[in-house]
Amino acid sequence: MALKTVICIGMAGSGKTTFMQRLNSHLHAAKTAPYVVQLDPAVLNVPYGANIDIRDSVKYKKVMENYNLGPNGAIVTSLNLFSTKIDQVIKLVENKRDLHDYCIIDTPGQIECFVWSASGSIITESFASTFPTVIAYIVDTPRNSSPTTFMSNMLYACSILYKTKLPMIVVFNKTDVCKADFAREWMTDFEAFQEALKEDQELNGESGMGSGYMGSLINSMSLMLEEFYSQLDMVGVSSFTGDGFDEFLNAVDKKVVEYEEFYKAERESLLKRKEEEEKARKDKSLTHLMKDLGLKDDQNPKAKSDSNDEADVISDLEEEEEGEHDGIVLRDEDEGVEREYTFAGDERTNGEINGQSAPNLQKRYQEALEQVAKSASSETAENIARYIRQ
């Protein structure tokens, strides 16, 4: 069985670290000890044992001092420093893939520092390109009993899904304090959500959070998110009692199948398209180089047609008939006018170069061009010759 990666993302106070602790102990109790990665550089203590801890590589307080940063800036910078070694992290996890079924990853509570940073994308993409990867978005259930707060959290989840492009499970945590049945109903029954929103408006009054404008906006967003909900799995868990974690692991297995069927194929297609675009770009650059050097590419008829249809260099315009220069202003040839070219900062000529001060200017230009041609890289010449032979 392939190692499955679960990246736990959640806002500060959602119980994400406690969720990690309970998931770790639950998997240990099931005799399937996970490989644990801890990516929060600012945390003082973690209630679980981590196989890889970012604090062993990056000292958060030193980053703040050395770079004169605040808390969030230091977290982002620490993740940036850690992401430069992500290839080594992936190799360490790969070496243990036969001993573990799960790799669980804890991320900073400052959610934007991870999700919308370059380092967060690098870390997520590195794991997702190597192992089946699932996002677990942890939600504080008691704080989302209001329709407006619930909708805000769902929009956050939608943006994370769009950013990571990975299968997602919305985990409603703290169900021992507040059951998550209302959330499941709101996600599956639009009319039930509308009724709850109406009650919230009556409770808060028109001047509160449930004002007419806010209610209209939330209604519109709830209609838009119906399709989004269909792509999600929703589970309710209690990190305090351990309820719901079997259901969560079943949802992870389901999302791994979805990853293999859809997300992996889409990723491979995207990588292939990028590779083809890069190859086309290199071919076009080489074609332009050969054209500039006066070489012909007999094996690329498309390049020939392109050279006739498109003017890529100034020399291509020299054979055009008079009046067809497409905006290129040619130098006038009035007799009796002596051209002067001023180059600021030239100490030999006080900034002025003309026929009197530099009579051998054209000769020096020609010598310089010949010298550059002689010192051209032999490797470039060999590449061009090899391309022509092919």
Both structure tokens of 356: 């009197």
Quote the longest CA-to-CA distance of the chain: 97
Pairing of strands 168-173, 352-353: unpaired
Predicted local confidence at residue 364, as pLDDT: 60
Provide the percentage of residues in the chain whose pLDDT is more than 70: 72
For the chain, the average pLDDT equals 78
Phi and psi based region of residue 93 (left: phi greater than 0; alpha: psi -120 to 50; beta: remaining): alpha
What is the predicted pLDDT for the residue at 370?
A: 64
Residue 137 near residue 157, CB atoms below 8 Å: yes
What residues have CB less than 8 Å from 328, skipping those under 6 apart?
314, 317
CA-CA-CA-CA torsion sign (207, 210, 214, 215): negative
Rounded distance between C-alpha atoms, residue 122 and residue 83, angstroms: 7
3-state class (DSSP) for residue 353: strand
Tokens of 258: 């979805």
Report the candidate in 177, 166, 155, 161 with the shortest Cα–Cα distance to residue 236.
Answer: 177
Q: Which residues contact 214 (CB under 8 A, 6 or more apart)?
A: 148
Is pLDDT above 90 for 176?
yes
pLDDT tens-place string over residues 179-191: 999 998 888 888 8
Q: In angstroms, rounded to a whole number, what is the distance separating the alpha carbons of residues 41 and 61?
A: 9
Report d(CA 303, CA 243) in Å as an integer. Answer: 66
What does the alpha-carbon distance between residue 174 and residue 241 come to, in Å, rounded to a whole number? 9
348-369 per-position pLDDT tens digit = 444 444 444 444 555 665 665 5
Domains annotated for the chain, with CATH where assigned, are: 4-203+218-256 (3.40.50.300)
3-state helix, strand, coil in the chain (%, to 5): 55, 10, 35
pLDDT band at 376 (very low <50, low <70, confident <90, very high): low
Is 90 exceeded by the pLDDT of residue 170?
yes
Tokens standing for residue 334: 């009035």
Measure the CA–CA gap between 322 and 339, rounded to whole angstroms. 23
What pLDDT digit, counting tens, does each position of 282-336 carry?
888 888 877 777 765 555 555 444 444 444 444 444 444 555 444 444 444 444 4
C-alpha–C-alpha distance, residues 329 and 241, integer Å: 80
The answer to whether the beta carbons of residues 239 and 173 sit under 8 Å apart is: yes
Residue 165 carries which DSSP code?
A: -
Lowest mean pLDDT among 169-173, 209-213, 344-348: 344-348
Contacts for 17-20: CB closer than 8 Å, 24+ residues apart: 17/43, 17/46, 17/47, 17/106, 17/109, 18/47, 18/173, 18/239, 18/240, 19/136, 19/138, 19/171, 19/173, 19/237, 19/239, 20/46, 20/48, 20/104, 20/106
Give helix then strand counts, H and E, for the chain.
Answer: 16, 9
Give the Cα separation of 4 and 28 in Å (integer). 15
List all residues 6 or more positions away from 351 whose beta carbon is below 8 Å from its beta carbon. Answer: 342, 343, 344, 345
Least confident of 15-24, 139-148, 156-165, 322-331: 322-331
Amino acid (one-letter) located at 252: V
Are the C-beta atoms of 104 and 36 separated by less than 8 Å? yes
